[in-house]
Amino acid sequence: MTAGNTNAVTARKFNIDTVEHAAQTPETELPWAELGLKENEFEEIVKLLGRRPTAAELAMYSVMWSEHCSYKSSKVHLRQFGEKLTDEMKKDMMVGIGENAGVTDLGDGWAVTFKVESHNHPSFVEPYQGAATGIGGIVRDIISMGARPVAVMDPLRFGAIDHPDTARLVHGIVSGIGGYGNSLGLPNIGGEVVFDSVYQANPLVNALAVGVLRHEDLRLANASGVGNKVVLFGARTGGDGIGGASVLASESFDDSKPSKRPAVQVGDPFAEKVLIECCLELFKHSLVEGIQDLGAAGISCATSELASNGDGGMQVELTDVLLRDPTLTPGEILMSESQERMMAVVTPENVAAFEKVMDKWDVEYSWLGEVTDTGRLVITWDGETIVDVDPRTVAHEGPVYHRPFHRPEWLDGVQADTFRASEAGKGLPATGEELKAAVLELMASPNMCDKSWVTRQYDHYVGGNTALASPDDAGVVRVDEETGMGVGLSTDANGRYAYLDPYTGAQLALAESYRNVATSGAVPMAVTDCLNFGSPEDPEVMWQFAEAVRGLADACQVLGIPVTGGNVSLYNQTGTTPIHPTPVVGVLGRFDDVARRTPSGWQRNADGQAIYLLGT
């Protein structure tokens, strides 16, 4: 609850690498390689700044120019989602790719925002917390659009069901998703559970969240209005996500004993639930001008994106950040990925009202600085300038790679290995008994069997607006209680198809999701995707990626619905063996009245109804 400089004492513990100092000491060795930057990238930073970066600037650029934050390998392909938009596709799109999540107009002044994201690697290391914080992250994206989150979904992929490590992952991940989502009061309305040994040491934990808002509540991540205040609120900043040992140890005054940094992050769903309610109250009273969630790259990302999207600059005093761990160095504070935090821009007139909302919900906050007209992002540590950059170079003008790609030679072999007409009928069940056995075997296979052992661990009733959830093909939630208007969602993917042919595989995923939404009775309107692939530095993986994106963009054009947002997850591989390319596609559709939703399968008391098979 306290604002102000509570950490001032610690400010003196570091050898502060100021901008001035950096200009005077061009020869200083910097750990850019350990921070994941390539030599050309480091040289580019030096060129942009006209001097070597300070330790804090290096920290910012390294996290923001990472594959995860900058999309440097995927950008050139993802552009197609924008380039292939037709007027028909743009009709209801209020916000497209580029913001925290896309927004689609539902009519009657309502809009809906949704997005799917990955938390694959953290979930392998610590399944419960990795999956839990995956839900937390995607839900904050939805809040930051000005929306109330209304449901979540969780497409999951695990290794072989009988592998010794699979139980650890399945049970940890499922209870993590439930533990976090259930505590937020968000119904889980669908997802997937797939077992395939290609995901053995690289499970896929994708999480989708959907939220609804009135048009006037739409918020974007930008900082405008000179003199407006910048505030950080929610959880305190700890050493989360910085990595086991700090490579910025040079910053530390006493570098003989670097203090420990968490190996994994622990989620606090209670803090996030309070954060949701608190943000909704801020939106209701129009108390924030711009807002941004803190995910990967934390304060680096929030400050540079807010400033870069705004029309001026920003000035921030870093010693005002409330810390969970007082030993953090400035660079570490900038890189920290601590969960359950948000940053907002507030006009001076609204400061008191903002603080009142924080106090009501017992949420900690601290005022960090303000919007300026300099066009620069300036960050100080106890008054001394440690960052002075053009925010666009951090947030939006990072490196872009045209990675080489080529069709894998092995693909012909895999594709040739098809079902042969000459073998048709061989081994097919001939008798009733055999048929029964075959059906039972299919029904019992882990990928086909009933998923209620997973879904009953998820609350699908909370909110009282769930019209369909598991075991139906699409989840349906009511948006407007007056009219019954609502949305239907489905997520689908098939890594095996995409492995055989990524272009068609991605299209099949979209088509399946589209069908699931359409058969529930909704009119499909928008697409979100989570593209899970191996290393982009492998030209064959890069080809799979390029093909999948091209396939998806082409199919969206045919179906007339836009991709409004999504996420790319690369480097999903074990050693040099990539997972199957796995584009997970989510489709959202609109219902005039969810009373008209159609459940999958026939209902009880359906005696005498006719069954038709449609399509080819």
Partner 1 sequence: MPRIVVDVMPKPEILDPQGKAIVGALPRLGFTAFSGVRQGKRFELTVEGPVTEEILEQARNAAATMLSNPVIEDVVNVEVLPEDGAEVRADADAAEVD
Partner 2 sequence: MSETPLIADLRGPEPAPLSGAKIGVVTFPGTLDDRDAARAVRLAGATPVPLWHADDSPTALGDVDAVVLPGGFSYGDYLRAGAIARFAPLMGRIVDAANSDAKLPVLGICNGFQVLTESHLLPGSMIKNDHLKFICRDQVLRVENASTAWTNQYEVGQEITIVLKNQDGQYVADEKTLDELEGEGRVAFRYVGWNPNGSRRNIAGITNAAGNVVGLMPHPEHAVEPGFGPLSTDSGEYSTDGLGFFTSVLTTLVAGGTK
In the complex, the residues that contact partner 2 under the rule CB under 8 A are 175, 178-179, 182-185, 268-271, 273-274, 360-362, 456-467, 478, 481, 484, 521, 594-599, 603-605
Closest Cα partner for 157 from 125, 198, 129, 127? 198
**Site residues for ligand ADP, window 115-154 (CB under 6 A)?**
154
Q: How far is the CB of 595 from partner 2 (least distance, A)?
A: 4
- DSSP string over 139-172: HHHHHTTTPEEEEEEEEEEES-TTSTTHHHHHHH
**Site residues for partner 1, window 225-244 (CB under 8 A)?**
235, 238-240
* 473 near ligand ADP, rule: CB under 6 A: yes
Q: How far is the CB of 287 from partner 2 (least distance, A)?
A: 19
Bond prior to 203 in cis (omega within 30° of 0): no
Among 74, 123, 188, 206, binds ligand ADP (CB under 6 A): 188
Query: d(Cα 511, Cα 493) in Å, to the nearest integer?
Result: 10
In the complex with partner 2, which residue's Cβ is closer, 119 or 597? 597
Q: Structure tokens of 295?
A: 């995910």
Q: How far is the CB of 458 from partner 1 (least distance, A)?
A: 20
Query: d(Cα 284, Cα 58) in Å, to the nearest integer?
Result: 38
Catalytic, 68? Answer yes
Contacted by 126, from partner 1, partner 2, ligand ADP, none: CB < 5 to 8 Å by type:
partner 1
Catalytic, 460? Answer no
Of the listed 68, 77, 460, 580, which one is catalytic?
68
Closest Cα partner for 252 from 483, 426, 16? 16
**Site residues for ligand ADP, window 439-458 (CB under 6 A)?**
451, 454-455, 458
Q: How far is the CB of 586 from partner 2 (least distance, A)?
A: 22
* 260 near partner 1, rule: CB under 8 A: yes
Query: d(Cα 26, Cα 21) in Å, to the nearest integer?
Result: 9
Could you tell me whether strands 486-492 and 523-532 are parallel, antiparallel, or unpaired per DSSP bridges? unpaired
Stretch that binds ligand ADP, among 15-23, 129-137, 253-261, 469-477 (CB under 6 A): 469-477
* 325 near partner 1, rule: CB under 8 A: yes
Query: d(Cα 598, Cα 377) in Å, to the nearest integer?
Result: 52
**Site residues for partner 1, window 327-366 (CB under 8 A)?**
338-339, 362
In the complex with partner 1, which residue's Cβ is closer, 258 or 484? 258
CA 572, 574, 578, 584 dihedral sign is negative
With beta carbons less than 8 A apart as the criterion, state whether 333 and 318 touch: yes
In the complex with partner 2, which residue's Cβ is closer, 110 or 497? 110
Query: Judged by CB under 6 A, how many residues of this single chain contact ligand ADP?
Result: 15
- The Cα-based distances of 24 to 30, 49, 56, 238, 577 in angstroms read 14, 13, 16, 31, 46
Among 252, 265, 319, 494, binds partner 1 (CB under 8 A): 265
- Residue 30 neighbours by CB under 8 Å, 6+ apart: 42, 52, 53, 55, 58
Q: How far is the CB of 469 from ligand ADP (least distance, A)?
A: 7
Contacted by 206, from ligand ADP, partner 2, partner 1, none: CB < 5 to 8 Å by type:
none
Q: Which residues of 497-532 are buried (b: 16+ CB within 10 A; e: fewer)?
A: bbbbbbbbbbbbbbbbbbbbbbbbbbebbbbbbbbb
Query: d(Cα 84, Cα 213) in Å, to the nearest integer?
Result: 27
In the complex with ligand ADP, which residue's Cβ is closer, 128 or 458? 458
Rounded to 5 degrees, what are φ and ψ at 571?
60, 30
* 380 near ligand ADP, rule: CB under 6 A: no
Query: d(Cα 155, Cα 161) in Å, to the nearest integer?
Result: 16
* 496 near ligand ADP, rule: CB under 6 A: no
Q: Structure tokens of 427?
A: 């081994």
* 192 near ligand ADP, rule: CB under 6 A: yes
With beta carbons less than 8 A apart as the criterion, state whether 317 and 56 touch: no
In the complex with partner 1, which residue's Cβ is closer, 202 or 327? 327
- 268 three-state secondary structure: coil
In the complex with partner 2, which residue's Cβ is closer, 521 or 566? 521
Stretch that binds ligand ADP, among 125-133, 311-319, 465-473, 561-569 (CB under 6 A): 465-473
* 209 near ligand ADP, rule: CB under 6 A: no
Query: Judged by CB under 8 A, how many residues of this single chain contact partner 1?
Result: 25
* 471 near ligand ADP, rule: CB under 6 A: yes
Contacted by 156, from partner 1, partner 2, ligand ADP, none: CB < 5 to 8 Å by type:
ligand ADP
Tell me the HSE value of 608 on the side-chain side, using a 13 A CA sphere: 1
| Strand-pair partners of 112 | 104, 212
Cα angle for residues 71, 76, 81 (degrees, 5° grid): 95
* 494 near ligand ADP, rule: CB under 6 A: no
Q: Catalytic residues, which ones?
A: 68, 119
**Contacting residues toward partner 1, per CB under 8 A:** 125-126, 129, 235, 238-240, 259-271, 324-325, 338-339, 362
**Contacting residues toward ligand ADP, per CB under 6 A:** 154, 156, 188, 190-193, 451, 454-455, 458, 470-473
